[in-house]
Structure 1
Amino acid sequence: MPSKSLPMPIRPLLLASLISSVVIPTFAQVADGELQSIIVTGTYAKNRRTVDTESPVDIIGARELQASGSTELATVLGRVLPSLNFPRPSGADASDAVRPAQLRGLSPDQVLVLVNGKRRHSSAVVNVNGTQGRGSAPVDLNAIPLSAIDHIEVLRDGAAAQYGSDAIAGVINIILRKGAAGGEAEVGFGEYQERDGKQVSLRGSTGFNLGSDGWLRIAIDAADRDPTNRAGADYRNPADPRYGKVNQRFGDPETKPRVLFVNSQYRVSDEIDWYAFANYGQRDTSAAATWRTFGRSPIYPEGFLPLENSKSTDASLVTGLRGEASGWRWDVSLNYGQNEFKLDLDNTVNLDLGANSPTHFYAGKLKNAQSLLNVDVARDYPVEAFTGPLTVALGAEYRREEYEIGAGDVASYSGTGAQGFSGFRSVNAGSNSRHNESIYANFEAEVSKQFSASAALRHERYSDFGNTTSAKASTRYAFNDAVSLRATASSGFRAPSLAQQFYTITTTNFSVVNGVNTPIETGTFAVGSAAAAALGATPLKAEKARNYSLGIQLQPTRNWTASIDAYRINIDDRIALSANMTLNQALKDTLAKQGLLVGAGRYFTNAIDTRTTGVDILSTYRWESSKAGRFDFTAAYNHNKNSLEHVNANPAILTANGLTLIDRQTINRITVGSPKDKFSLATDWALGDVGARAVVTRYGSFTVPQNNATLDQTYDPQWVLDLSASVKVGKNWRFSAGIDNVTDKYPDQVTSAGNLNNNGINPYSGWAPNGFNGRYYYAKAGYSW
């Protein structure tokens, strides 16, 4: 790595090195008694251990995933992975229901999600409001139930040369439970300190034999979660009959997820296995929009709170054959997955319809689907000069993607549309598709006991934007059993999603004008549309990335491992949703001729180059005593900095009309919006049938930017303590209880400058990495067999 990439991480690196000399650890504890585990992510070699990897891989076991009060996968990962950020936006339309997660402070769609090594489909929801991840349509991690997961492997390195599009920040590979043996059922209850957010959850997993040669495993998750509300009283208008009351609902939405996952395998012959895994899940969510004040509708004379009631449905099926013939390991698979998001509006009106307005509206749907055919082969070749074999892997993939927008009721979008969310119009509706083919090769070798290396090359051809080629080289050198160095360099890409190319809607947004939240009709235009072209749009192209990392691995004793990895990620042509451009009369008239009556417009564009630099530190120490029990100390630290390298010239048509495509807020949302760092220290204790866990996490500072720099707000770091304990009763029963956020910590409140807290009604920022719900109590009872 060039020396100029290292200064930024130096200070946190020294700090973390100091910490690691005391007690720093890694997540590589999947099985009791083991500090190192076999991995499958980022490698085609057999029996590759975490200690041997040339790229950093974290392993998160079922114990860590289930040792908190949350039953949401993304929430749990946000607590155990220092490089993952999962805020909890509120009042952000569909982003309340499908929340985006970030790895290494990058866009949520710049991380690839796999299930059993196979690409997972993305959500249909596009994050278009002022949340983190604005403009992205990533995988919905919360659609995957904890009960189905054996462990998770997180590759913290660019891997587009190995896996294709999206693997810029890294790869999250979710490994499902397998086998017919054993099962469990668990019921859980929880509630926040403020006596809201009550949660009842039920999960279970069990297996069955398919004759003597196969197995089938089923996992189910279901939960009912009540909403939370941390809104302030409404003091906007003394004449309001509800003056001084809490009219707004600001917090987590009401959610009811129901998920079924199936994993199976059958031995067809001595050399061939058939496998399949599938899921079907549905999550109903009721989120609140902004309170509409009194006097606006004769149907609700005292005002009303629009409710956005959505149904997100996920379905997937992966099936294939794998085996070995003539020394070649092979795997042929078919993969289909889809997400459908339907939205209804309740407790609201279309103001243009007056007293004749309905109070229920169907706002339309979004649907995203993918189909894949994969062929992979791998073989180990003995090389006389090497201490280990040369692993050669080859593969080909065909992928087809489809994105669909379905129109809502006419009443949901006619005129100003339904309050809360104006529905998708008939002109927005349509279906678009594309396909791509790829071929790839991977080479790995243990050249000597001290030195190993790997290389990967991948070429892809997309039907919409053309060809792209990615490459990666990695190496590791072990000075001895205790110290080794590893390094990687790679190029990568992320294809513009169909959602970014074709998502289009006209809706009511709120902008601060002269200190007042003002509604404005805003059009989000497909980048290839006449409306976008009238505002200077050009076709989207792929994002291009260059990843570099340099790390050191330490294993001073059998019970202690540590790793320190510095990285740099350069991304050119990043895709962003433009600023909400308030149009002058000339541009309004231009769009009106196309039938678009809007006061603001926006579209997706390749306009920004960025550089991300940072450091990850992970380590684990285990101490065992026959009297005191076993202690596992786990600490982790991430420091991350995103900086702007280049912004494309403003389109001439916008400059001529006094508009800016990429504004200050859009840039700073990317560069300073996620926490600068995160540190966590966990202690797990077990003695016989009793266990306990304590985790303290420090979420670093972050800034919520505005176009007026004087209105920026930087939020202080936040310390959060989680405690839990469990006891096994008899052979089968286990009871556990815990408190998340024991000290009932809240993030800083939003300042009132510029009315950014909506007159005190929305006191907290939806960007806060640990949310703003406060202390949470929970208890679980489980039965296993």
Structure 2
Amino acid sequence: MRFRSSSLLAIATTLAFAVPPAFAQDTAEPQADQAPPPEDTQIVVTGTRAQGRSRLDTASPVDVLSGTALRNQGTTELGAALAAIAPSIDFPRPSAVDGTDAIRPATLRGLSPDQTLVLINGVRANASALLNINGSVGRGAAAVDLNTIPATALERIEVLRDGASAQYGSDAIAGVINVRLREARSGGGATATYGFYATDIDTARGSRSVTGEPAFTASAWQGIGFGEDGYVTLSGEYLNREATNRADFDPRVTPSRVTGRFGDPAVEQYTGYINAGTGIGDNFKLYGWFGYQDRDSRSAAFPRLPAAAGAVSGIYPNGFLPIINTKSTNANGALGIKGDLAGWDVDLNVAYGRNKIAYYTRNSANYAYGNASPTSFYDGALIYDQWVAGLDVSRKFDVFQSLNVAFGIEGRREGFKITPGEPASWNYPATGAVPGQAPGAQGFGGFSPLNAIERSRKNVSGYLDIEAQITDKLLIGLAGRGEHYTDFGDTATGKVSLRYDIAPWFALRGTASTGFRAPSLQQQYFTSIASVVQNGSPVLTGTFPSVSVVGAALGGLPLEPERSTNLSVGTVIRSGGFDLTIDAYQIRLRNQLALSENIQASFSPQVAALLASTNTGAQAARFFINGLRSRVRGIDAVAHYRLPTGDAGTFDFTIAGNLNQTKVDRSSIPTSTGTINPAPVLFARSRILTIEQGTPGQKVTGSIDWSLDKLAITARASYYGDVNQPGTTPAADIHSGRHTITDLELRYQALKGAQFALGVNNLFDVYPDYTIAANNSTGVVGFPYYSPFGFGGRYVYARLGLSW
């Protein structure tokens, strides 16, 4: 994606005429009896270990997104709410990609989802057990599921848009998302949100209208005080959402009709959080939190028409639509103590997180069983867990104007496990198998005992972080970190930060750092046999570890860490109620990890024989490999102006944008070093273009937030540049196009008492460009699922609440 003057003109024109989330998202969450703090006093704890530094005083760019701004939206998904107000974050809504339909990854600055570190109260959050192996943005990543954290539990979120591996460790190549939970001794509230779609759907083969597909969310929180300073904050949320369907008409049936289901899955979800703390003696505080979520999601595979379902025609004479049911449970918590010890600020904590995803296939069949097939299957489960223990120590010295010295150690143990499903989900029947039919549940085949695995690893790290205010104008930061992993050895990273305040209203800042991301256990050990749709037809595809017999034969090697070099330079301008930050950055990635092409048996007799030797029925194979090199260049800009007008209320104006360009070094693309001759192509056109063009090269959000006493209006317009969902040839590419989404919300919101809001997301019912008929032979994929704003259409909602 290239920056063109015409693109920038289109963005500027769009925002000039749109009704422009003010940085209400830049306001720290107020207590029930407090007003939001001024912009220049928003104290941050991410990206700096010096106390009392505001977001406009840091050497690295940090966004402060308040819990209020995240909750004052139609969506109750944290990932979607973040993407709506943070221009550097992308949260696509993929469909027909198995478990990724239910557990969606977010990206920062166009990088892979697992190249952003997620913290909860400053402590590393656990990743999802899911490995995104199908054709979605973030293919090959095992990332943190942001939607396991309910917005009602939040005080704020801090987004560090800068490389920070030297400060926080693995994964912080693109930056850090630090989720801060509420700490309340009193007050509380309850909210109910109901919404539905009112949209006109225009696909390549026809049009239709939808009014319905509702979603209901109920949430509540309560602060409880005890002792002199103790607090317990309880938060809970319930979500029930019907499935959406934006599939096209199926040309294979007469008369043509919609046979597939393509859109958001049906979800029923329960989430609860508790955050607590209390003083111990005069110098210490005991703190901790625990969160738990149970999510039941049901998405659809491609439809099986009567001709394809002939083996089970007695069960499904009219064909069937397999339903992929994922049941995800996520638990995370921490316990710590912090305070003053001999003049040093000390924080000692231990945390545990666990995610389990159990798979079921409903309304399906195993063709090998014929008409005696079950119709519902348990497919097995993925489990990931981690223990983290950390000690952070810091102290401020009266050297120069001030010198902050921080150091610490962290230990982590990670585990990953695959448990097999029931035999009917993956195997032939003991007797009477239907000849010529491959085994396994249609839509999502189960994990077999051959896939079962249990692996773990440990790592220990130490860091030193120094931040010196040399003069009133000059700030210098230095950080270094060393890590040892039991599976691949040692690594070291460093960072230098500079800031120079030329005048009280104008400052320059910049950073240079190195980063790394350790290959996840999921990437190293995940294995499965699953149906992958290629050119409109399902192909039974095996995902094999890189060091397995299949992986090694195709060119696989032991996985190594990804490496990065990050550079950024920016400016901060502020005057009165106005502030502007502009930051340019470059990120060079080396030894990048990616999932290979699906190498089919038809490639050569050697590949066919190799796959046959696995006794899995796989018709294609893929595996992870290091070696790609890429470069990301971009600019982040955030401008905010707060205008109090007395009787006319207060206006917050915000315009925030991200421009970025990703290029893959074609000369770095790995070639096979295995035993297959001729060697298969490991990375072809579609994989490379997904990295380069799978996220928008331009995203700009403009907003106006007006408030007067208890009344408020938020109007937001978000411009998205074109995204390419690449095919095997240019003719098979699916582009989202350039579009602007407008959101509007009117609310009555008292600090205490009744609250009410009416709103519309996507007011003008904008869709990405539809998938042309030539690229949609089944009619299922009506729109590109790479679309950065989804493909749901207009959504109308109402929110009722009570605060006390």
Query: Contact 1:25/1:560 (CA < 8 Å) preserved in 2?
Result: no
CA, structure 1 residues 355+127, in 2 after alignment: closer, same or farther (shift >3 Å)?
A: same
Match of 2:779 among 760, 772, 779: 760
Match of 2:267 among 255, 272, 275: 255
- Quick one: which amino acid aligns to residue 196 of structure 2? E
- Report the equivalent of 2:585: 567
Instruction: Look up the SS of the partner of 2:558 in the other structure.
Output: coil
Q: 1:527-568: per-residue Cα shift (whole Å, max 9, x none)?
A: 22122112111010000000000001111x210000000000
Instruction: Look up the SS of the partner of 1:197 in the other structure.
Output: strand
Match of 1:428 among 419, 434, 451: 451
- Report the equivalent of 1:600: 620
CA, structure 1 residues 413+392, in 2 after alignment: closer, same or farther (shift >3 Å)?
A: same
Rounded to whole Å, the distance in 1 between the matches of 2:594 and 2:641 is 42
Rounded to whole Å, the distance in 1 between the matches of 2:451 and 2:708 is 60
- Report the equivalent of 1:274: 286
Would you say 1:83 and 2:88 are equivalent positions?
yes
Match of 1:539 among 545, 550, 558: 558
Rounded to whole Å, the distance in 1 between the matches of 2:22 and 2:794 is 27
Rounded to whole Å, the distance in 2 between the matches of 1:469 and 1:730 is 49
Would you say 1:666 and 2:665 are equivalent positions?
no
- Quick one: which amino acid aligns to residue 337 of structure 1? G
- Report the equivalent of 1:162: 167
Match of 1:468 among 472, 491, 512: 491
Deviation at 1:117, TM superposition (A): 0.4
Unaligned 5+ segments in structure 1 are 1-6
Query: Contact 1:9/1:613 (CA < 8 Å) preserved in 2?
Result: no
Q: How do residues 309-708 of structure 1 correspond to structure 2 at under 5 angstroms?
A: 309-383=325-399, 386-387=400-401, 389-414=402-427, 415-512=438-535, 517-555=536-574, 557-583=575-601, 584-645=604-665, 646-653=667-674, 656-657=677-678, 659-708=680-729
CA, structure 1 residues 649+206, in 2 after alignment: closer, same or farther (shift >3 Å)?
A: closer
Deviation at 1:16, TM superposition (A): 9.1
Match of 1:289 among 301, 304, 320: 301
Q: Share of identical aligned residues, percent?
A: 38
Query: Contact 2:278/2:286 (CA < 8 Å) preserved in 1?
Result: yes
Rounded to whole Å, the distance in 1 between the matches of 2:166 and 2:241 is 41
Match of 1:35 among 25, 35, 39: 39
- Quick one: which amino acid aligns to residue 62 of structure 2? V
Query: Contact 2:164/2:176 (CA < 8 Å) preserved in 1?
Result: yes
CA, structure 1 residues 355+17, in 2 after alignment: closer, same or farther (shift >3 Å)?
A: closer
Rounded to whole Å, the distance in 1 between the matches of 2:745 and 2:123 is 34
CA, structure 1 residues 16+779, in 2 after alignment: closer, same or farther (shift >3 Å)?
A: closer
Q: 1:706-737: per-residue Cα shift (whole Å, max 9, x none)?
A: 22123223332111110001114795111111
- Report the equivalent of 2:70: 65
Q: 1:387-439: per-residue Cα shift (whole Å, max 9, x none)?
A: 2x211001001100000001001110114300000111111011100000101
CA, structure 1 residues 757+17, in 2 after alignment: closer, same or farther (shift >3 Å)?
A: closer
- Report the equivalent of 1:4: none
- Report the equivalent of 2:747: 726
Unaligned 5+ segments in structure 2 are 31-35, 199-209, 428-437
Deviation at 1:318, TM superposition (A): 0.4
Deviation at 1:760, TM superposition (A): 2.7
CA, structure 1 residues 9+618, in 2 after alignment: closer, same or farther (shift >3 Å)?
A: farther
Query: Contact 2:360/2:376 (CA < 8 Å) preserved in 1?
Result: yes
- How many residues are matched? 765
Query: Contact 1:368/1:402 (CA < 8 Å) preserved in 2?
Result: yes
CA, structure 1 residues 10+248, in 2 after alignment: closer, same or farther (shift >3 Å)?
A: closer
Deviation at 1:656, TM superposition (A): 1.9
CA, structure 1 residues 33+41, in 2 after alignment: closer, same or farther (shift >3 Å)?
A: closer
Query: Contact 1:438/1:459 (CA < 8 Å) preserved in 2?
Result: yes
Query: Contact 1:25/1:636 (CA < 8 Å) preserved in 2?
Result: no
TM-score between the two structures when normalised by the length of structure 1? 0.95
Identify which range, 596-605 or 432-441, moves more after superposition. Answer: 596-605
- Quick one: which amino acid aligns to residue 34 of structure 1? P
Rounded to whole Å, the distance in 2 between the matches of 1:25 and 1:479 is 28
Query: Contact 2:128/2:355 (CA < 8 Å) preserved in 1?
Result: yes
Identify which range, 17-26 or 37-46, moves more after superposition. Answer: 17-26
Q: 1:8-29: per-residue Cα shift (whole Å, max 9, x none)?
A: 7999899999999999986532
Identify which range, 736-745 or 226-235, moves more after superposition. Answer: 226-235
Rounded to whole Å, the distance in 2 between the matches of 1:713 and 1:366 is 32
Q: 1:505-525: per-residue Cα shift (whole Å, max 9, x none)?
A: 01111211xxxx222211100
- Quick one: which amino acid aligns to residue 26 of structure 2? A
Rounded to whole Å, the distance in 1 between the matches of 2:673 and 2:414 is 34
After superposition, the CA RMSD in angstroms is 2.1
Deviation at 1:593, TM superposition (A): 2.7
Query: Contact 1:9/1:639 (CA < 8 Å) preserved in 2?
Result: no
Rounded to whole Å, the distance in 2 between the matches of 1:713 and 1:358 is 37
- Quick one: which amino acid aligns to residue 593 of structure 1? S
- Report the equivalent of 2:196: 191
Deviation at 1:306, TM superposition (A): 0.4
Instruction: Look up the SS of the partner of 1:659 in the other structure.
Output: coil
- Report the equivalent of 1:741: 762
- Quick one: which amino acid aligns to residue 559 of structure 1? G
Rounded to whole Å, the distance in 2 between the matches of 1:8 and 1:740 is 28
Deviation at 1:246, TM superposition (A): 2.0
- Report the equivalent of 1:101: 106
